[in-house]
Amino acid sequence: RASGEGGLAGRLVLTGSSTVAPLAGEIGRRFERLHPEVRVDVQTGGSSRGIADALSGVADVGMASRALTEAERARGLIAHPIASDVVGLIVHADNPVRALSDEQVVAIYRGEVDDWEELGGRPGPIVVVNKAEGRATLEVFREHFGLALDEIAADVIAGENQQAIKTVAGNVGAIGYVSAGEAAREVEEGASIGLLSRRTPSGATERFPIERPLLLVTPGAPDDLARAWIEFARSPAVRDLVEEARLVPVDS
């Protein structure tokens, strides 16, 4: 985990957010090419895992797709933003419904509307896909729509973004929410999903404004190897990887 005479060397372990992980993996591979004696091990498991592992020392760097809480900062965690993302709602590509209001989304997730015909679609049950507890996407989604965890009427619980995307792509009546950047990439690769727009009170449509930061987190100042990797991950040298991931770069 330290610098040797020939430069950086060692193994760097990152755990946490499945939204941050694909980008961190690409950055890690580029970093390894620059530093052949370094290995970057990226593991998922959700933002809560990343934060817990960083605090306990299981991981050198945690990954989180939400802002740190005051309590987490009070325990010494430091956030290193590398990008920002938008949470988007997705439906099956064959679903003619392409926009929903905030009120309609809340009604769906509370189980008050359970058939697409009530929303202008074809008759058929709505299959509600929710994210598992400990996933930052769930917390960001709940906060935006003012939903309590115990009032969400979920039919399916998904962990990582990929699981939610596959679930929606495999069920014409499903609705879920994931990283919009990852959803856009999957659409380009032929996934049978579509991103929903938000219907405003005036009847116009726009992107759902559910933005969140994507963070690397460390318990205090990182050691030499972790610091070098974080600086690289926040540098112009990987801006192309951030943009290819359909994420918004941040200034270092």
Compute the mean pLDDT over every residue in the chain, rounded to the nearest whole number: 94
A 10 A CB-CB count for 113 gives 18
Mean pLDDT across 158-184: 94
Q: What's the whole-number mean pLDDT along residues 179-200?
A: 93
- Residue 167, φ and ψ in degrees, nearest 5: -65, -45
pTM over 0.85: no
Burial class (CB within 10 angstroms; exposed 0-12, middle 13-18, buried 19+) of 236: exposed
User: To which H or E segment does residue 55 belong?
Assistant: helix 47-56
pLDDT exceeds 80 at position 90: yes
Rounded Cα–Cα distance for residues 115 and 244 (Å): 36
Give CA angle at 142 (137, 146), nearest 5°: 160
The three state secondary structure string of 113-127 is CCEHHHHCCCCCECE
At position 3, the amino acid (one-letter code) is S
pLDDT by residue (tens digit) across 55-64?
999 999 999 9
C-beta separation of 21 from 42 below 8 A? yes
